[in-house]
Every structure is written in structure tokens, then in C-alpha cells.
Amino acid sequence: MHLPRPRIIGLGGGALLGAVIVLLVVFASARSGPGPAAGDPGPTRAGSALPEAGSSPAASLLPSAKPSSPGSLADLRVSTAGWRTDFTRSNVDLGEIIGGGPGKDGIPAVNEPRFESIGAVATWLSEEAPVIVLELHGEARAYPLAILIWHEIVNDTIAGVPVVVTFCPLCNTALVFERTVDGVTYDFGTTGNLRFSDLVMYDRQTETWWQQATGRAIVGELTDTQLVFLPSQIVSLADFAAAYPAGTVLSRDTGNPRDYGRNPYPGYDRADQAPFLFEGVVDGRVAPKERVVTVDSADEAVAYPYSELRKVGLVNDRVAGQAIVVIWESGTASALDAPLIDEGQDVGSTGVFSPEVDGRSLTLRRVAPDAPIRDVETGSTWDVTGRATDGPLVGARLAPIPHGDHFWFAWAAFEPSTRIWTAAAAGSSSDVDSPPPLP
């Protein structure tokens, strides 16, 4: 059972920024020819000064307002030089768009992705390494955040479907879209700009600007056009390998040498720290950079904070009347914590599914946050990718529901009316209060 087509899906330390990150950033406008030579870290959003260690917004901040209505071209604060974009057409306040550091394509998209076996990437990625997983028509691919953090966009085709895989490090927002609209396939790049700290992409065919968090065109010829979300999730390399042993993984051979595996934003994911390059009001109901799983239907938006999911490991809920199951599993490193991503803190991974197989509704339970997940009806065991690993339903897969794993501030900027799920509010209906009966 699928939720209605969503409006917006997926938005959604220690020495935290102890030293302001110093990277030799060379903007695209100053470049000519191919990417930087080996040893050049390449442009990232970290080229600007990051927030001071320990900074945090006031607890009394009110929920953010909806993005304001379109403004005039005079409100635009970024350069239009070198763009073919129709700036007379937009559906947002142009004054909300700011420069993020590198210019147009200064953070280069991966346009000719190459893939290799899980065994090959295991020589440089740990089992805990976070990867974006996409499965279409039986073909599964993983896109390591160790690569995406440097490129933010991968234009790919999987199982014959043109897709764009995106990651905004400042919002921790990983989303995948179909890149064909009305029969036209678009190729995407980075504008170098941000809106509410979120990546603003552009398509190379019309140079329309698109909001990554919503998949919607916001400035240019295609304004108001919506990309189709595809279900994806961030899990560990080990979880991907277990679920899709024949799957392939994006190679470091991107044509743009980078220090893959190193995090250019170390310490950025401290939950109570103010977001970077965010010109908005932070919704104070949840810490600004708390990770949240988000699901948004036409009638209701819900966020499930990781800190709450850790307490239970699994949530059965309803969004707009439709049954869903949200799973949290330990074992996945943060891409935005330690200088080396593989050494990042264990933030876990999540999956959101329709609890149904072949038309049969299932009730998934776990007796403790780290206990096996079993369904009440057959006693089959399930994992974070929605795969039955044992029991009568072994090999079956739950239908994934498009969702996002984001920093709270980023999601709330686009959907401030979100309901926030907590274990306390769930009360006696918690899914960890009693063992699942065996069939």
C-alpha cells in the first residue's frame, strides 16, 4: 500500500569545528579545463567560515515560516552572469537564494559514473561506511557518501531509468529522482547557490534552477515542474552487501580527483549547533541538526527523530491514514562527524516501508531496539532494507516508501506543520513493550 504522491518527500562534536576548516578552494569561475590535480581538495561548501564551536540557536525560536512568495529580479543576491536561466519566472522569493561558496559547477557532478563490486570498494570503505542505496527493477546500486560529499550530484541510468542521485551535506539530505519529465531527460549540475542552506541544482538543458530538498523547479523555464521521487535509503556498506550481494558501488574513478573518504565538514553534525548558511528561523521543537526520518503525504507530514527511534528500533504508524513501518538500525557511520568518514560516530540507518507482502498486511515488532525484527503473522525475520532474512517469507521484500533522512532545520524550513513522533507520545502503543507471538 503506497502513500499518495507526496508534495515534499525526504528532507526531507567532540572537537566540533574546533579549528575553522581551511581548504584551498578554487572556484569554478577561476578554473578552466578539467578538475583539480591530485592533492587539491577541490571546492566544497566548507570554503566559507563555519559556525563557531558550541554555537546554538535560542531554545525559544518559533517554528519557521513557509518560504515566502516570489519576489522581483532585483531581490536576487547572486550573479546571473554566465546563466541562460529565465530569471523572470520563479515561484520563490529570489532574495532567499544565496551564494554557497563555489560557483556554477564548482562542485562538479559525476556525469559518467563507473561502478565496481562490493569486494573492490571494501578495500577502502569500512563496513560502517554510509551509502545511498537505490534498487530498481532488480538492479541495486550504492553511492558512498564518501564520494557524494565531494560531488553532491550523480547523473546515472539504472535498469534503463535515468536518475539523479543527490546529497546536500549542509542539510544531510540524500534524495533520488527520476530525471525524465514529459519525455525529456535532463542532466543536473550544481549552481553553487543555496536556499535555506539546501542545494540549488540546475538542469543543463534549460538551466532552470531546482530545489534539491523538494525536487521542484523554482527559477527558470521549467518553474513549478516536479521531479518524481524514487525510494532510497542511507545504510551501511555491510547492510547493502547483505541485502544485495550482487549489487555494485560507485567507483572513485570519477574523473575529478578528490580526497575520497575524508570529510571536509568535520564536526558539523552536532545536533544543537546552529546550521550553516541558513537564513531562516529554526523550528525549536527539535534540535536544529537532529537527524529525522520524514514522510510527507498530500495531507500530513511526520518526522521521526533518530534520538526517539533509538529507544524503540521500530515504529508502526499511520500517515494520512496509511500504515507504515519505520525501522532504525545501528551500525552506520555519520558522514559529517570525524575527519575520516569511516571513523564517524554510529548514527544508525533507517528504512520506511509499507508493511504488506503480496497483498497481505503484516505487523512488524521487535522486543528491544537491538532485537531481531519479526512479523506477528508468520514469525519471519526482517532487516533495515525491508528484506525477510529468515522464516516462511524469506526472500520477500517490503515495498519501500519514499522518505528522507535529514537535519531537522532543513525539513522544517519546507514543511513547518510537521507532526513529530516521540516514544513518550506513543505511550503504551510502543512497539517494544511485548514480544511478538510466534505463529
Q: pLDDT digit string (tens) for 220-272?
A: 999 999 999 999 999 999 999 999 999 999 999 999 989 999 999 999 998 88
More confident residue, 415 or 439: 415
- ∠ Cα 201 202 208 (to 5°): 130
Output the pLDDT for position 42: 63
Output the pLDDT for position 293: 96
The confidence band for 297, taking pLDDT boundaries of 50, 70 and 90, is: confident
Q: Whole-model pTM?
A: 0.85
* Long-range residue pairs from 65-69, CB within 8 A, at least 24 positions apart, any chain: 65/280, 65/281, 65/416, 66/416, 67/92, 67/93, 67/96, 67/195, 67/196, 67/413, 67/414, 68/92, 68/93, 68/96, 69/93
Output the pLDDT for position 278: 84
Question: Which three cell numbers, joined as nine digits, stand for 70?
Answer: 516570489
Say whether pLDDT at 50 is over 90. no
The confidence band for 381, taking pLDDT boundaries of 50, 70 and 90, is: very high
The confidence band for 427, taking pLDDT boundaries of 50, 70 and 90, is: low
Output the pLDDT for position 45: 66
Question: Which three cell numbers, joined as nine digits, stand for 39?
Answer: 592533492
The mean pLDDT value for 378-398 works out to: 97
The mean pLDDT value for 47-57 works out to: 42
Backbone angles phi, psi at 432, to 5 degrees: -120, 15
Output the pLDDT for position 10: 35
Average pLDDT, the chain: 84
Backbone angles phi, psi at 403, to 5 degrees: -155, 180
The mean pLDDT value for 398-418 works out to: 93
Gap between the Cα atoms of 373 and 181, Å rounded? 38
* 8 Å CB contact between 80 and 311: no
